[in-house]
Structure 1
């Protein structure tokens, strides 16, 4: 009985919070569902069909998809390399000060969203795929560096210590004693972040970072809904293909 009263109390509190939020934000839910609003939404949505499938436009979409794929792949690769290097510091293998500073850097990198990094990189490197690649690399370095460091911290030190006692140097002990225990995790994390970066690379074009996102921004700005529909479909196909490829690679390399 007491738990039922508590459950009702919390449900009522959540309902009051939702109603108060709608009132404070001045969200007109009834206006959204009015006949005029539904008619406008239907008219705008129907303008996206049928998609533009002309040969010239499909070729441009193909080029944009390749650019988006390249941005995500290069950005993820750079982030994996930088994250692996910083993870050695963040896992405490070079002292407490190096660990604290590297973790502070990783936190700063991943706390800034990709869109903010892209806006900054556009100012620094100009419009185009280079800015998008740098934006993805900076944010993903913070994410992968932290994940890589945690994997290193959870790795048993026994194999590396045995190699050191046998006369191996620190680099050899790491490569043959520690790295084999974390490599599968590192690959899994990297492939997962690549999947996320594909989606984000398609969005970064809205701030001028190239790829399909930039094409979508231009077509929507010019009210070319049929062409925008083709770009959206290309984004969906690209994400599905990369997800399938990533899942296959994880099964092949990680398992």
Structure 2
């Protein structure tokens, strides 16, 4: 009589799914802490939802939006608007390029290139990057206006200072997380560290660095428009002027120019990302 051997599946032990919350699970405690923080935030803020959603508030917002939806299209005003658009674009481009140069210089000492790298300047350099990006662009512009005066120079330098802190941290993280195989192969052959970075690390992280730069360029378009509110030139300065005089038609034209400019930059950066991915 043939002996029947049980299949391996018959010997498997079927376990119940783990409980939703386990006291020994660190991730569970982190999620619970985040939920508690969100609940405490809603409880501590005076969010007047009933007033915000009232019929009178909705009517006022609708009237305000209708006034903005009829932009001023007079040729004389458009001749003033075009230089402001170009100035805002130039501020974002120059500020981003200056930030990329500074971020690359700061990212190298702020990163640990390999396991044996002492990285003596990593902590102080990251402290500098934290300070640069912790100060908002508006505060940088307010500080630089004292030295540079009113105009696009203060806005451009403010964009460069804040963006250098953001890109420097992102660049340093990308360099540290790059695969170590190619760099290790060159390092064991006695290749100097500078050439190892240029020929092994940089080619691997370059698409990521370009992607970060394009993303921050998009953000700087919006930030350059905002910086004009404090007198840093460009569309923001026109926005502050016409909005302060309650000239809604001119304000709508400035907002429309901002939307078109951001859309153009977004399309250009998307095309550049697609070209790099091929």
Q: Shorter chain as normaliser: what TM range?
A: 0.7 to 0.9
1:143 is aligned to 2:163: no
Distance in 2, matches of 1:17 and 1:120, equals: 32
Deviation at 1:225, TM superposition (A): 0.9
Q: Say if 1:149 and 1:220 are closer, same or farther in 2 by CA, change over 3 A.
A: same
- Tell me the TM-score normalized by structure 2: 0.78
SS at match of 1:181: helix
CA apart distance, 1:116: 1.4
Distance (whole Å) between structure 2 residues aligned to residue 167 and residue 28 of structure 1? 67
State the alpha-carbon separation in 1 of the partners of residues 54 and 134 from structure 2: 40
Note if 1:193 corresponds to 2:216: yes
The one of 62, 65, 85 aligned to 1:45: 65
Q: Which residue of 1 aligns with 2:237?
A: 214
Structure 1 position 204, deviation (Å)? 1.1
Query: What does the per-residue CA deviation read over 1:182-210, in whole Å, with 9 as the maximum and x for residues that have no partner?
Result: 11111111111111111111111111111
> What's the Cα RMSD here?
2.7
After superposition, give the CA deviation of every residue in 1:66-120 in whole Å (9 maximum; x if it has no partner): 1111111111111111111111000035744310100000111111111211221
**1:165/1:97 Cα in 2 relative to 1: closer, same or farther (>3 Å)?**
closer
Greater displacement, 49-58 / 64-73: 49-58
How many residues align? The count is 244
Distance 2:49 2:172 in 1: 46
Larger radius of gyration: 2
Stretch of structure 1 that moved more, 129-138 or 47-56? 47-56
Which of 257, 265, 277 pairs up with 1:234? 257
Q: Which has the higher helix share?
A: 1
Q: Find the counterpart in structure 2 of residue 89 from structure 1.
A: 109
**C-alpha contact (below 8 Å) 1:188/1:254 kept by paired residues:** no
Kindly report which structure 2 residues correspond to 1:117-136, keeping only aligned pairs within 5 A, or say none.
Answer: 117-136=140-159
Alpha carbons of structure 1 residues 121 and 95: separation in structure 2 relative to 1, 3 Å: farther
Structure 1 pair 107–19 and aligned structure 2 pair: CA distance change class (3 A): closer
| SS of alignment partner, residue 182 of structure 1 | helix
Counterpart of 1:180? 203
Q: Give the corresponding residue for 2:275.
A: 252
How far residue 167 of structure 1 moved from its aligned partner, in angstroms, is 4.6
- Aligned pairs for 1:145-160 (under 5 A) are 145-160=168-183
Aligned 1:56-135 pairs, distance under 5 A:
56-93=76-113, 95-135=118-158
Distance in 2, Cα, partners of 1:233 & 1:250: 26
Check whether the contact 1:92–1:98 (CA below 8 A) recurs between aligned residues: no
Specify every segment of 5 or more residues in structure 1 that has no aligned partner in the other structure, as ranges.
4-10
